[in-house]
Copies of this chain bind each other. A is one copy, B any other.
Amino acid sequence: MDELRSHLSGSWQSGTGEPQILYNPATEEAVATCCATGLDLEAGLDFARREGGSALRKLSLAQRGQLLQTLASTIHEHREALIELAISNGGNTRSDAKFDIDGASATLSYYAGLAAAKGDAMVHEDGEMLQLGQSRRFVGRHAWLPRNGVAVLINAFNFPAWGFGEKAACALLAGMPIVVKPATSTACVAARLVEIAVDKMPAGTLSSVVGSAHVLPTLLGYQDVISFTGSSQTAGRLRALPQVASGAVRLNVEADSLNAAVLGPDIEAGSDTYNMFLRDVSREMTQKAGQKCTAIRRVFTSSAIRERVRDDLVERLGAVRVGNPAAAGVKMGPVATAQQRGDVLAGIEVLASQTRKVFGSEHAELVGTQDGKGYFVPITLLESDTPDVPGVHDDEVFGPVATLMGGVDDAATAGTWVAKGQGGLVCSIYTDDRSYAGAMLAEVGPHHGRVMFASTKIADQAPSPGTVLPSMNHGGPGRAGGGEELGGWYGTGLYAQRVAVQGDRGMLDAMLGKATS
């Protein structure tokens, strides 16, 4: 069985405690072990700060971009092997795996492109040179300077590749060395990513800790950064750490989200936008078995169309073959762990007590599985005549589960109920009515990091709303954690200090072109 090692202080290291075991969630077979107990994390962090940080700060933005392109190309070269690992350790279908792995390389390539456009610049400037005094001589300009610490990238179990890629791209481009801390249960992909990439990176710029390591965040200091994706419970524990609560360690959180899809009252059944809506809802419910922070959990329609939507969704969901993703024809695999399975089933029970269950695939045949093994949960569609279903707006059930609610006939009603999610990552509005769209942006905008307007004109080319694009903000207020990731250069800000530089024009011109450590 594979032992997944950590890479710290420039070398591969094994923990000294009881190994943790990683499973194939479709078969419950053990596939790998890992252990982070006993690792010298402090030395590893110091090595990253010292060697990795100084190496990155000596590189121009374009040179950092070349590192990102190397990472992207390396991932692409090892794509088939990574897909196999995602299937065996993540319960991913081949399509799920590609979404994750190609997402990682595409995001890294996107940032490599942003960086290349900066040429030889050593400093990422922000905005124009501003005249501050009576004459043109006294000026000011903002510059993003990399924090002098280490960025600890704590990723969720659902996107071991993309989660790595999106955080790594922003941190490395900003000029911060990274320590990757993947979720243990699905760490095979992330561990392999580090293995194939680490020798192509300057020493100390890429490290990893594989296995539980609760002490890791407590070893950080005021120039360090934590970029966290995961549950709001864990986020709360991180926020409560003295290092974070004092304002010293900078923390970005991407947590829970009860993403909503709203079918505009103008959309008629059978239209392009209607079909896009059906496609998106069913895809978001079943892709990665619904284990996406951006998956659609709440579906709002008018009363008039609700039954038709329900029938059409039930038909689509019924066509999704569930089973071992290694078997042919399987379109949805299991959830990642036994724990997740228990949580999702319990969540379904709570929601079902307040709604009608109109689709549950528990009676369908599981393809390619044996002896009742595997962490499978049924695709579940719940329905309510009105949106007044408390649990639906409060409990994120992290699996192939959504609730369809009618009685949402205008923008004000839709806005009120969407907002009950108390902050989300993405909301999608299906409409061809510009006035309705404008009203919905005002209603739901402040509650989300991203709003997708799906209309006839883009029905042939827009991805479903759960697809996170590197040029667009990813994050959201409130329940979603209050963080921001990606969105082009914006995403690098977490890893840098925005400094207002004031002085004489000649000095600033000279300095901002070449500041290095």
Interface of A with B (CB < 8 Å)? 57, 127, 130, 132-135, 137-138, 140, 142-143, 145-148, 222-223, 232, 235-236, 239-240, 245-248, 250, 253, 255, 419, 422-423, 434, 437-439, 441-443, 445-455, 457-458, 461-462, 469, 471-474, 477-479, 481-482, 484, 487-488, 490, 496-504, 506-508, 510-512, 514-517
Contact between chains at B437 and A503 (CB < 8 Å) = yes
B138 close to A458 (CB less than 8 A)? yes
The answer for the CA separation of A490 and B142 in the assembled complex, in Å, is 11
Query: Contacts A250-B477, A453-B504: A461 and B135 contacting too (C-beta < 8 A)?
Result: yes
Check B457–A422 contact: CB distance below 8 A.
no
B477–A500 CB distance below 8 A: no
Which of B469, B477, B481 meets A223, CB within 8 Å? B477
Contacts of A501 in B (CB 8 A): 441, 445, 450-451, 453
Asked if A127 contacts B510 (CB within 8 A), the reply is no
The chain B residue sitting closest to A508, CB to CB, is B453
Contact residues in B for A223 (Cβ distance below 8 Å)? 446-447, 477-478
Known: A446-B146, A502-B451. Is A478-B140 also a contact (CB below 8 A)?
Answer: no
A108 to chain B, nearest CB (A): 18
Complex Cα distance, B451 from A286, in Å, reads: 51
Q: Is B462 in contact with A133, judged by CB distance below 8 angstroms? A: yes
Residues in B with CB closer than 8 Å to A499 are 441, 445-446, 448-451, 473
Interfacial chain B residues near A455, Cβ < 8 Å: 503-504, 507
User: How many angstroms from the CA of A449 to the CA of B222 in the assembled complex?
Assistant: 14
In the assembled complex, which residues on chain B have CB atoms less than 8 Å from the CB atom of A446?
145-148, 223, 496-497, 499
Identify the 4 closest CB pairs spanning chains A and B, nearest first. A453-B503, A472-B500, A457-B504, A222-B478
Q: When A135-B461, A462-B138, A471-B130 are in contact, do A423 and B222 touch as well, CB less than 8 Å? A: yes
> A130-B471, A502-B450, A504-B458 are contacts. A510–B222 as well, Cβ < 8 Å?
no
Could you tell me the distance between the alpha carbons of A5 and B379 in the complex, rounded to whole angstroms?
59
Instruction: Give 27 pairs: A residue, B residue, CB < 8 Å, sorted on A.
Output: A130-B471, A132-B462, A133-B462, A137-B461, A142-B473, A142-B487, A148-B419, A222-B477, A222-B478, A223-B478, A236-B245, A239-B245, A239-B246, A247-B253, A434-B507, A437-B511, A438-B514, A441-B512, A443-B517, A446-B496, A446-B497, A451-B500, A453-B504, A472-B502, A473-B499, A484-B498, A487-B498
On chain B, the residues within 8 Å of A222 by CB distance are 422-423, 477-479
Bound CA span A474–B511, Å: 21
CB distance from A113 to the nearest CB of B (A): 13
B482, A442: Cβ atoms closer than 8 Å:
no
- Inter-chain contact B461/A138, CB cutoff 8 Å: yes
Q: Is the beta-carbon distance between B145 and A445 smaller than 8 angstroms?
A: yes
Inter-chain CA distance A134–B502, complex, in Å, is 43
Tell me whether A445 and B500 are in contact (CB under 8 A): no
Tell me the bound Cα distance from A517 to B443 in angstroms. Answer: 6
- The reply to whether B247 and A500 contact each other, CB–CB distance below 8 Å, is no
B contact residues around A478 at 8 Å (CB): 222-223, 247-248
With A247-B235, A253-B247, A461-B137 given, is the CB distance from A500 to B515 under 8 Å? no
